[in-house]
Amino acid sequence: MEENVLYSDKFIEIKDKTILFRNYYFPTFSAKTVNFQEIEKIVLEKPTLKNGKYRFWGTGDFTHWFPLDNQRNKRDVIFILFRKNQKMRIGFTVENSKKVRELLKGKVTLYFENH
């Protein structure tokens, strides 16, 4: 059965059971899909130099990976996704953070830092 698309922009696509991260892998620009069942929590942070505001793609500390977003420094929220039993976290941004926040509330545990 085809999943419903709940939200889509040029960075992510949220469906009933999955999140697809566009332009995830460097240098192939291929996507990565994560099932909601794999997610431990998502932390929402105000963008700072320390948490990836200027990390446009890739990693700087080998514990966070950021899909491509050349405008990340202008976004209002950075989402940090923690997967169960995985060291690498996914730091991502979206075009409509308010809508994504509301969608994720019913699907995963959200934590708010620096807000």
Residue 88 binned pLDDT confidence (cut-offs 50, 70, 90): very high
Bridge partners of residue 8, in order along the sequence: 13
Domain ranges of the chain: 5-113
Strands 32-35 and 18-21, by their bridges, are antiparallel
What span, in angstroms and rounded, lies between the C-alpha atoms of 91 and 93?
7
Q: Which one is the CATH code of 5-113: 1.10.1660, 1.10.10, 3.30.70, 2.30.29?
A: 2.30.29
Strand segments, DSSP code E, in the chain are 5-8, 12-15, 18-21, 32-35, 39-45, 64-65, 78-83, 89-92, 110-113
Q: Return the CA Rg of the chain.
A: 13
Mean pLDDT of the chain: 94
With 80 as the cut, is the pLDDT of residue 20 above it?
Answer: yes
Write down how long the chain is. 115
- Predicted pLDDT at 71: 97
pLDDT of residue 113: 81
Say how many CA atoms lie within 13 Å of 107 toward its Cβ.
20
pLDDT in tens, 48-79: 999 999 999 999 899 999 999 999 999 999 99
Confidence of residue 1 (pLDDT cuts 50, 70, 90): low
Of 102, 84, 79, 97, residue with least CA distance to 35: 84
Identify the pLDDT of residue 114: 61
CA 29 to mean position of chain CA atoms:
16
